[in-house]
Structure 1
Amino acid sequence: MTPALPDGYRLIRVPHSRSVEFREVDHLAFGYEPDPETVAQVPDYLEWDRTSAVEAPDGSLAAVHASYAFTLPVPGAQPVECAGLTWVGTRPDQRRQGLLSAMIADHFAHCEERGEPVSALYAAESAIYGRFGYGSAADDLRVTIPRGVALRDVPGSSDLTLRFAKLDAAAHGGLVEQVHAAAGVGRPGWIGRSTDALRASALADPPAWRQGGEPLRIATVHGPDGEPRAYALLRRKEEWADNVAKTKVLVRESAAVDAAAAHRLWSFLLDMDLTASVQSGPLPVDDRIREILVDPRLATAKITDNVWVRLVDLPAALTARRYSGPLDVVLEVTDARLPANAGRWRLATGPVGADAAYDVRVTRTEDDADVALDVRELGAAYLGGRSLAAAGHAGLVEERRAGSLHATSTAFAWPLAPVCSWMF
């Protein structure tokens, strides 16, 4: 159901031949203009068979959006096909005409056509996307830690070697993607970069992005056999005060395949000469660094929303993940944007698996509802990092049968906190 556009406006697919115009709308919407050097150094990572826009009556682009073909890791199962919504923007002089609503409906229609039961995004403005049924499904942690803080011992860390070099995209790109993929095994939300262009953009380092810091460096941790087990993409930003070095270590992205590798990496980052602190990139809220700090109070932590998730095909999405407890519950779901998702759905788990998790069958039913909620709350809980019981405590989920919300919340939860380690 696509909302009506103003007279003369229409939804179109945008070919690569209109890429300059497409990007100009985004620049106007977000208030920035990349310099020519940055444009030359950052690859074109849009997928031009997945770019769309609203065309104004004069033929210009009034609003734009695009998506990526991702697979989204979900609790305990194979990743689910996912449309990563991105580059959503409306020209400032074209706002308040319903263009965004029409584009989101168009995006959902394309998801259905492609068989993508889930959509995910990063919200530039967090107040916007809830009304379209997206739920905030994960948080990420950014920590600032003073140099020299003590870490608890982790067996095997001292057996690993560390290398430090200027980042070379050709030499280091494969290592980064290998470790990134291995580090995310079992963690919901850990989306991989799905194209060569996205992988290349992760290593791009135009001077405009450095904010006065050095060119991007890479620290890598290796096992006794030389196999890479951790990395950090970082730069140092030189600062001095009263003849004392206050240089910051700014980590863009880091990943480690196990606890020993993480310990070895952080031991290096926290003891670099002429530095005063380390600022991390996005980490899961249960990252190992929180556990291995001897004095966690020395770390300044900031938590913010990470990926937002929208269930486009509710039964397919819910069936695609696994659950932490047995469940037989009827959910009454409201969905103002995708009516096919609305109604009553029975979720019934089968026998417990060898991994102590459960598969589920999702079927329509006319039975009385046990729990009532909007699709937004289901999206928020989908990756296992949000509590449906907490949403109920906040008045956003209604329990209609005693005990049913506790059981549902327990089943949807997952031991590892969800996160996406990079912004798309």
Structure 2
Amino acid sequence: MSALPPGYRTVAVPADRLAEFRTTDQLAFASVPDPETEASLPFPIPQERMMAVEAPDGTFAAVHGSYEFAMPVPGGTVPCAGLTWVAVRPDQRRRGLLRAMIATHLERSLGRGEPVSALFAAEAAIYGRFGYGSAADDVRLTLPRGAALRPVPGSDALTVHLERVDPDRHADLVEDLGRRAGAGRPGWMPRAAAPLRVRAVADPPAWRHGFEPLLLATVRDGREVRGLALLARKEAWGEAGPDYTVQVRLAAALDAAATHRLWTFLLDLDLTTRVETPVLPVDDPLLHLLVDPRPARRRLADNLWVRLLDVPAALTARRYAAPLDVVLDVTDDLLPQNAGRWRVVADHAGSVDVARTTADADVRLDVRELGALYLGGRSAAALGDAGLVTGEAAALGTLTTAFLSPRAPVCPWNF
């Protein structure tokens, strides 16, 4: 798919070169290493999924890795390669190394039976040219203390317990509750690997930036935990008195009553004036519960980018909101086996069939737009209005209805 310059070669990263792998990434992202933090946390990428491009002098010129995910999609899950730690040294740019690494990633992912890849884009303009489509958005809110919520029956009967985070006791609780809270939401990646669960509740001093040690708030119905949040406060004093900020790293709840009780607590802590939410889906219950949403400052951002590596396997892994019988003409510059016309047939019973066809196409699109549609958070009709997907209005409408998810896709943590 893409050749390296003479003298460069793709290599697996052995255990004794992990430090060089990390240094290459740190140099590319201008990140300052903290040896104490690095020593205290497990490295998250499995060794067998770390790759590098070696320069002619034998040093790493570029690196990348991936995670093994079971990515939730409408109606099920799909094996997914979560591309991460993609870095090219500043003095090795403009040599085609990124393109070669993407080619390696796609080939290895397909070899492992992963028909989909996903990532968070450090720079949004990069990955579209490799077939990744922006498939989800997220929103962060900054709310004033005391922001009122509409009442929810049962909220008052729940209690809240606050304690310092203990990674040994809380890592599995946070992951389990978060996974259950996100059930049915496309893109809500579970942290199946232990290093990722540990890092979710890690709180090294270098990460605090003036905030207190991490706290865990749990919403309980008796002994049962129904919701939780990871949070920390930052002390500040102004002319009018206390001006603390509450920073919520993670918030999850199993039902409306637990959601209401959790945010009622977080929005009314003593000494505070503002609350910063974590990444939320664009249809999060909190957005509907606010009595007055206007004072909230909102920041909308792209979330997951999705790339289909095996079109028929990916499309048959998910379910559709309405019956579908459409012929898609797909272009794919990097994986020619995906290109061409595919007939996609789905029924109310959940049966899906995707097969090659010589029939006339109803809709024409690039694999990038197919990735954007895949999690159900984008509209084929809207992409048609933008000129990125072509077809008759009726076909685009049918595709939109069938692909949409009842819950907006999101991944609540950045990998």
Which residue number corresponds to residue 213 of structure 2?
Answer: 215
> Which one of 359, 365, 372 corresponds to residue 364 of structure 2?
372
CA distance in 2, matches of 1:81, 1:149: 40
Task: Give the CA RMSD over aligned residues.
Answer: 0.9
Give the superposition deviation at 1:402. 4.6
* TM-score, normalised relative to structure 1: 0.97
Give the superposition deviation at 1:45. 1.2
Residues 233-289 of structure 1: per-residue CA shift (max 9 Å, x gap): 111011111141110000111111111111000000011000001100101110010
CA distance in 2, matches of 1:389, 1:341: 22
In the alignment, residue 40 of structure 1 is paired with which amino acid? A
Conservation of the 8 A alpha-carbon contact between 2:172 and 2:197: no
Unaligned runs of at least 5 residues, structure 1: none
Q: Which runs of 4+ in 1 moved over 2 A?
A: none
In the alignment, residue 125 of structure 1 is paired with which amino acid? E
1:405 paired to 2:401: no
Residues 184-238 of structure 1: per-residue CA shift (max 9 Å, x gap): 11000000112111110111111111111101111111113x1111111111011
Which residue number corresponds to residue 39 of structure 1?
Answer: 38
1:71-82 counterparts in 2 under 5 A?
Answer: 71-77=70-76, 79-82=77-80
In the alignment, residue 272 of structure 2 is paired with which amino acid? T
In the alignment, residue 17 of structure 1 is paired with which amino acid? D
Give the match's secondary structure for 2:129.
helix
Give the superposition deviation at 1:299. 1.4
Identical counterparts, % of pairs: 60
Give the superposition deviation at 1:181. 1.1
Unaligned runs of at least 5 residues, structure 2: none
Give the superposition deviation at 1:298. 2.1
1:421 paired to 2:415: no
In the alignment, residue 162 of structure 1 is paired with which amino acid? V
Conservation of the 8 A alpha-carbon contact between 1:347 and 1:363: yes
Conservation of the 8 A alpha-carbon contact between 1:321 and 1:359: no
> Which one of 362, 378, 386 corresponds to residue 386 of structure 1?
378
Which residue number corresponds to residue 180 of structure 2?
Answer: 182
Give the match's secondary structure for 1:19.
helix
Give the superposition deviation at 1:67. 0.3
Which residue number corresponds to residue 94 of structure 2?
Answer: 96
In the alignment, residue 407 of structure 1 is paired with which amino acid? T
1:64 paired to 2:56: no
In the alignment, residue 376 of structure 1 is paired with which amino acid? R
Give the superposition deviation at 1:4. 1.1
Give the match's secondary structure for 2:48.
coil
Which residue number corresponds to residue 126 of structure 2?
Answer: 128
Conservation of the 8 A alpha-carbon contact between 1:163 and 1:219: yes
Give the superposition deviation at 1:317. 0.2
CA distance in 2, matches of 1:419, 1:291: 17
In the alignment, residue 326 of structure 2 is paired with which amino acid? V
> Which one of 299, 307, 311 corresponds to residue 296 of structure 2?
299
In the alignment, residue 32 of structure 2 is paired with which amino acid? E
CA distance in 2, matches of 1:349, 1:179: 33
**Residues matched between the structures, number:** 415
CA distance in 2, matches of 1:51, 1:35: 21
Give the match's secondary structure for 1:324.
coil
Which residue number corresponds to residue 15 of structure 2?
Answer: 16
1:8-407 counterparts in 2 under 5 A?
Answer: 8-77=7-76, 79-224=77-222, 226-350=223-347, 352-353=348-349, 358-399=350-391, 401-407=392-398
Give the superposition deviation at 1:174. 2.1
Conservation of the 8 A alpha-carbon contact between 1:334 and 1:375: yes
Give the superposition deviation at 1:39. 1.2
CA distance in 2, matches of 1:403, 1:46: 45
